[in-house]
Structure 1
Amino acid sequence: MTSTQTPPAPTAEETGTVDLLIYSDDVDTRQAVMAAVGRRAAKDLPLIRWTEAATHAGVVKKVEEGSFALLVLDGEAAKVGGMAVCRQLKNEVYNCPPALVLTARPQDAWLAAWAEADAIVSAPLDPVELQEAVASLLRRVAK
Structure 2
Amino acid sequence: MTSPRPLTVVVYSQIEDLRTQVRTAVGRRAAPGMGRIDWVETANYSQLRNQLDSGDIDLVILDGDAQPSGGIGLCRQFKNEITDCPPIIVLLAREQDRWLAAWCQAEATIVRPIDPVLAANTVAEVLRAHASAIPVVR
Alignment TM-score, normalising by the size of structure 2: 0.90
The code of the aligned residue for 1:70 comes to: L
Q: Secondary structure at the match of 1:77?
A: coil
Q: Secondary structure at the match of 2:50?
A: helix
Deviation larger for 58-67 or 125-134 = 58-67
Find runs of 4+ consecutive structure 1 residues off by over 4 angstroms. Answer: none
Aligned length: 131
Aligned to 2:12: 23
8 Å Cα contact 1:37-1:134 kept in structure 2 = yes
The code of the aligned residue for 1:85 comes to: L
Shift of 1:60: 1.4
The code of the aligned residue for 1:128 comes to: V
Instruction: State whether structure 2 residue 14 is matched by structure 1 residue 32.
Output: no
Q: Which of 94, 106, 125 in structure 2 is aligned with 1:117?
A: 106
In structure 1, list runs of 5 or more residues that go unmatched.
1-12
The code of the aligned residue for 2:37 comes to: I
The code of the aligned residue for 2:12 comes to: Y
Change in CA separation of 1:26 and 1:70 when aligned onto 2, cut-off 3 Å = same
The code of the aligned residue for 1:18 comes to: L
Aligned to 1:137: 126
Q: Secondary structure at the match of 1:134?
A: helix
8 Å Cα contact 1:60-1:89 kept in structure 2 = no
Identical amino acids, percent of aligned pairs: 42
Alignment TM-score, normalising by the size of structure 1: 0.87
The CA RMSD over aligned residues, in Å, is: 1.4
In structure 2, list runs of 5 or more residues that go unmatched.
133-138
Shift of 1:16: 2.6
Instruction: State whether structure 2 residue 93 is matched by structure 1 residue 97.
Output: no
